[in-house]
């Protein structure tokens, strides 16, 4: 496939989100072009999508008409940047060579689809080592990325390795795992990081306290560098700190509470990043996503004062953000 330019250039912040790009994962039922329209209906500044079924290996090739309709609706709605997420079947750390090759082939298709659609980021979980050990799994992920980068020299899509909760033998629940993968990748400029609040909390990074929030970002910066972070998934957690269980909850309704999200949406170091919900849809994505987005926007500070928000009993009545952001003292 010939290389195409990435149409989703960096977006200025949304006025309704205080400069942030807040959004949610949108369904592609009925066609990819429907996703931006659904995002607009919900009130998204940015969206995440699957570019194909997330439960099947194969997909029909994209047609010119599908690509044009998707891009036209993005332009009409002003939504962006768009983030793609790959199929859940893909395991770039797979110990069985047959599964690994199948995963690499499927991930190549994901990259090609994102490139053609003009989507700048493709999120993937690092995968599961299947009991062969973290070091071997990490090597296989890096090998897969090196193979794909060599095969797709003209592509501009960045792969975003997602921090995980660490269920089973999954990699990525420590920032050191992601750093180790990057250390073996030859084209590190083509790889970024996506942080998921539910995942890192379940993995043991406590975002609820001032000290825990600061230490999490210091660890991230030390291992990966803040410039490597390209997107954030905003999800509360049904499971507790360090549980290694990945169960998303509505914002402020889980074990994390509102405190971490207030810090995140007001953190100047994170202002330019797309922040995307993957919270439950409750059989009505419009109501559920609107409610969660509204809750996040109420946490934003306006002209130095906090916008009224739902009371968070875990904080003092007048909470404030660390003046130095994630690396502040």
How many degrees, rounded to 5, is the angle at CA 39 between CA 190 and CA 201? 60
DSSP SS3 for 296: helix
The catalytic residues are 55, 85, 88, 125, 162, 196, 199, 233, 246, 248, 278
Phi, psi of 123 (to 5 degrees): -85, 135
3-state helix, strand, coil in the chain (%, to 5): 40, 15, 45
Element of type H or E holding 118: none
**What is the spatial distance between Cα 90 and Cα 100, in angstroms, rounded to a whole number?**
8
**What is the spatial distance between Cα 243 and Cα 16, in angstroms, rounded to a whole number?**
35
How many degrees, rounded to 5, is the angle at CA 167 between CA 165 and CA 170? 90
Phi, psi of 86 (to 5 degrees): -80, 175
Residue 88 counted as domain residue = yes
User: Could you read off the pLDDT tens digit of each residue along the chain, which spans 329 residues?
Assistant: 333 334 444 455 565 656 799 999 999 999 999 999 999 999 999 999 999 999 899 989 999 999 999 999 999 999 999 999 999 999 999 999 999 999 999 999 999 999 999 999 999 999 999 999 999 999 999 999 999 999 999 999 999 999 999 999 999 999 999 999 999 999 999 999 999 999 999 999 999 999 999 999 999 999 999 999 999 999 999 999 999 999 999 999 999 999 999 999 999 999 999 999 999 999 999 999 999 999 999 999 754 444 443 333 333 333 333 434 555 43
Q: Which residues contact 71 (CB under 8 A, 6 or more apart)?
A: 7, 117, 118
Structure tokens at 301: 């500070």
Full domain range(s) for residue 194: 23-281+293-302
Distances (CA, A) of 79 to 31, 83, 159, 281: 17, 11, 20, 20
Say how many C-beta atoms besides its own lie within 10 A of residue 141's C-beta.
30
Residue 321 counted as domain residue = no
Quick one: how many helices (H) and strands (E) in the chain?
Answer: 9, 12
DSSP SS3 for 11: coil
**What is the spatial distance between Cα 71 and Cα 5, in angstroms, rounded to a whole number?**
12
**What is the spatial distance between Cα 271 and Cα 134, in angstroms, rounded to a whole number?**
33
Q: What is the pLDDT of residue 297?
A: 97
Structure tokens at 53: 């079924």
**What is the spatial distance between Cα 175 and Cα 152, in angstroms, rounded to a whole number?**
27
Residue 166 counted as domain residue = yes
Give me the half-sphere count of Cα atoms (radius 13 Å) on the Cβ side of residue 18. Answer: 23
User: What is the total count of domains within the chain?
Assistant: 1
Check if the beta carbon of residue 70 is closer than 8 Å to that of residue 33. Answer: yes
Check if the beta carbon of residue 283 is closer than 8 Å to that of residue 271. Answer: no
**What is the spatial distance between Cα 18 and Cα 89, in angstroms, rounded to a whole number?**
37
Residue 11 counted as domain residue = no
Residue 124 counted as domain residue = yes
Task: Tell whether pTM > 0.85.
Answer: yes
Residue 12 counted as domain residue = no
User: CA torsion angle for 109, 115, 121, 127 (degrees, to 10)?
Assistant: 10
Instruction: Give the CATH number of the domain where residue 175 resides.
Output: 3.20.20.150
Residue 329 counted as domain residue = no
Residue 67 counted as domain residue = yes
**What is the spatial distance between Cα 44 and Cα 296, in angstroms, rounded to a whole number?**
12
Q: What is the pLDDT of residue 239?
A: 98
């Amino acid at each position: 496939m010939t290389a195409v330019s990435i149409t989703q250039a960096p977006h200025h912040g949304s006025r309704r989100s205080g400069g942030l790009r807040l959004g949610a994962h949108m369904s592609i039922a009925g066609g990819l072009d429907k996703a931006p329209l659904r995002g607009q209906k919900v009130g998204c500044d940015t969206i995440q999508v699957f570019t194909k079924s997330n439960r099947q290996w194969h997909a029909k090739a994209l047609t010119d008409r599908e690509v044009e309709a998707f891009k036209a609706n993005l332009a009409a709605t002003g939504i962006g940047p768009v983030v793609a997420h790959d199929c859940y079947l893909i395991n770039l750390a797979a110990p069985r060579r047959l599964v690994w090759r199948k995963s690499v082939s499927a991930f190549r298709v994901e990259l090609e689809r994102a490139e053609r659609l003009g989507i700048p980021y493709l999120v993937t979980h690092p995968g599961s080592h299947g009991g062969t050990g973290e070091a071997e799994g990490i090597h296989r992920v890096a090998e897969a990325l090196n193979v794909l980068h060599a095969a797709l020299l003209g592509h501009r899509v960045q792969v975003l390795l997602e921090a995980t909760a660490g269920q089973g033998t999954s990699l990525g629940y420590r920032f050191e795992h992601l750093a180790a993968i990057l250390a073996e990748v030859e084209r590190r400029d083509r790889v970024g990081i996506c942080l998921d609040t539910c995942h890192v909390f379940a993995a043991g990074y406590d975002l609820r306290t001032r000290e825990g929030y600061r230490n999490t970002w210091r660890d991230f910066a030390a291992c990966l560098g803040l410039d490597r972070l390209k997107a954030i998934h905003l999800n509360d957690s049904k499971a507790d700190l360090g549980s290694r269980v990945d169960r998303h909850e509505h914002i402020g309704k889980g074990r994390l509470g509102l405190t971490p999200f207030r810090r995140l949406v007001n953190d100047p170091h994170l202002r330019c990043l797309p922040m995307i919900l993957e919270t439950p849809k409750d059989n009505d994505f419009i109501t559920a996503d609107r409610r969660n987005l509204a809750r996040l926007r109420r946490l934003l500070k306006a002209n130095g004062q906090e916008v009224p928000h739902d009371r968070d009993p875990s904080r003092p009545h007048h909470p404030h953000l660390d003046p130095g952001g994630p690396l502040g003292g």
